[in-house]
Amino acid sequence: MLKKPRRKITLLKFEDLRVLIILLVIFFPAFLSCAEKPILALWESRELAPLRLQNVNPDFESADFWASRVAEPRALILTPEEIEALNRSALKSHINLVDIFALPEPLARSYLQDMLDDLEKLKNGPPGYDHTNHPLTKKFYDRIESSMGTLPEILSPQYGIITSRANLRRLPTNEIFLDKPFRNSFDRFQYTLLECGTPAAIVHATKDGTWYLIQVSHTKGWVEASKIATAAKNTVLHFARSNPVIVTGARVEVYTDPSLAQHAATLQMGATLPFESRTESFYRVTLPSRDENGTLKRTTGYIRASDDVHEGPLPFTMKNLYRQAFKLLNHPYGWGDLYEGRDCSRFIMDIYRCFGFNMPRNSIRQSQFNSRYRADIQYLQDSEKIELLKKYDGRPAVLYTPGHIMLFLGVIDGKPYIIHSAWAYNSEPGFFTRETKYVGRVVVSDTSLGQGSKGGSLLKRITAVTPMDEKDKPFP
């Protein structure tokens, strides 16, 4: 009986497997050509956004263009007294604004409970990464907690004035907190930048006295003690309420001598120092500094008369609002004002400070500033949002999406336009990819940014419109 020949089994060689894998990688997406979004983003495509974004004409990057669309661009929107009334109203609105001179004395320990809770959240939450890209450990947080010492049940606020640009920190440390290693653009320990001349209430100090826990008008956090000069409450109050010189340019330098040779401080838009006098060559301002004991020493500072500053707040008009915004066009983005930049909410805050507004520091609180007139629009369709935004054309308004805030410019050809400090946006993805385009500066754009991405366009994500005037009936 004949035996059946055994079938010869040929095993794939390693080279054949490698070719097969390459072919699958190349051709498998073809089977998914109808997919609207990638099933799984295997890699992220990163590139710089164009200098002028899509749908933005060159004219749109001019303050004069937007002012020309307003019937009366020089008309006063609100008087200084009306703006101050808004500031007082905002203090009662639970949006993290504080009159530091009205703090209770003594102050209960519970006033700092949110800071203590935040420390526990950091210790027990997702790990962050330090400047060496290594995880921040429990030992790190234990050392920080130990350095803070025990908070007393009763706090006795002291007062001081920031004497040089200082970082306000989440914890008493200059170590950084990165969400991911090698991504150092966002330090989650950074709150904001404080400028020379900022008044503060000091509520606690580390055991070695190198850090102060302070409250300023819009935030509380930790600042290096070497950046603040202490003084009596009435002295700080008088300094803060003096007739100010307001910086209305992107940046202005202050000097210690009338020949403008000895540099003292750099101030950015919206910063103030008490006005003393003016000559043809310079402004004289009161410049705070520290003596050898860390107490306040007042000296005279000098600012070039030709520099972009103004004695007292600017008149709040649409022409001036556009001018201030476009002075910052292409200014670099900086989370918490790091790297000489501005993030989205600092951009808004600095513009409105020039008119005397005391704005909150983060985006959601800014959208709640003029809460009586705020319109919640998150449930509207895109077409309905565009129709509603048309009524804010030529008016001062900010648009809010969760985590981002923008200055509204107007609607042209059915497209809402904004100017804002933007870090990046996701564009329509390819197969197995997520496309991120980095902006990293103040730009003009329409609200289609992000269209086709998982999160959707800016227009889709806008949840609120807050006008900075009082033309509407209050919203319920």
Distances (CA, A) of 174 to 166, 188, 190, 293: 11, 11, 9, 23
Does this model's pTM top 0.85? My answer is: yes
Residues in Cβ contact with 426 at an 8 Å cutoff, skipping those fewer than 6 apart: 434, 435, 436, 437, 450, 453, 454, 455
Region for 51 from its dihedrals, namely left if φ exceeds 0, alpha if ψ lies in -120 to 50, beta otherwise? alpha
Q: Which helix (H) or strand (E) holds 49?
A: none
φ/ψ of residue 69, rounded to 5? -90, -5
Domain 47-75+360-467: which CATH number of 3.90.1720.10, 3.40.640.10, 3.30.70.260, 3.90.950.10: 3.90.1720.10
Delimit the CATH 3.90.1720.10 region(s) of the chain.
Answer: 47-75+360-467
pLDDT digits (tens, 9 = 90+) for 125-140: 888 999 999 999 999 9
Domain with CATH 2.30.30.40 in the chain: 242-311
Hey, what CATH topology would domain 242-311 get?
SH3 type barrels. (2.30.30)
**Rounded Cα distance, 146 and 124, in Å:** 17
DSSP E strand boundaries for 39-92: 43-48
173-165-156-110 Cα dihedral, nearest 10 degrees: -50
pLDDT attached to residue 435: 82
**Residue 8 confidence (pLDDT) above 90:** no
Distance separating alpha carbons of residues 31 and 171, to the nearest angstrom = 51
| Burial class, 395, CB count within 10 angstroms (exposed 0-12 / middle 13-18 / buried 19+) | middle
DSSP string, 382-397: HHHHHHHHGGGTTS-E
For residue 155, the tally of other CB atoms under 10 A from its CB is 22
Specify the pLDDT at position 453. 86
The Cα–Cα gap between 319 and 394 comes to 10
Q: What is the mean pLDDT of residues 397-422?
A: 98
Of 151, 163, 138, 137, the residue nearest 206 (C-alpha): 151
**pLDDT for the residue 16:** 53
Instruction: Report pLDDT for 44.
Output: 59
Distance separating alpha carbons of residues 61 and 81, to the nearest angstrom? 32
Would the CA dihedral through 115, 119, 121, 125 be positive or negative?
positive
DSSP secondary structure of 98-147: --GGG--SSEEGGGGHHHHHHHHHHHHSS--B-TTSPBPPHHHHHHHHHH
How many whole angstroms separate alpha carbon 462 and alpha carbon 382?
9
pLDDT of residue 473: 56
Separation between Cα atoms, residue 248 and residue 357, nearest integer Å: 14
Kindly give the pairing relationship between strand 228-231 and strand 158-162. antiparallel
Q: How wide is the angle at C-alpha 273 spanned by C-alphas 115 and 280, nearest 5°?
A: 160
What whole-number distance in Å separates Cα of residue 184 and Cα of residue 279? 45
Cβ contacts of 27 within 8 Å, gap of 6 or more:
none
The pLDDT-based confidence of 15 (bands split at 50, 70, 90) is low
pLDDT of residue 184: 76
Q: What is the CA radius of gyration of the chain?
A: 27
Q: What is the largest CA-CA distance in the chain?
A: 121
> How far, rounded to the nearest angstrom, does the alpha carbon of residue 324 sit from its chain's CA centroid?
16
Tell me the pLDDT tens digit for each residue of 298-319.
999 999 999 999 999 999 999 9
State the sign of the Cα–Cα–Cα–Cα dihedral 176, 177, 183, 187.
Answer: negative
- The pLDDT value given to residue 91: 95
Rounded Cα distance between 462 and 385, Å, is: 9
Q: What is the pLDDT of residue 415?
A: 98
Q: Give 20-75 pLDDT, tens digit per residue.
A: 444 444 433 333 333 333 334 445 567 899 999 999 999 999 999 999 999 999 99
Please give the mean pLDDT across all residues of the chain.
90
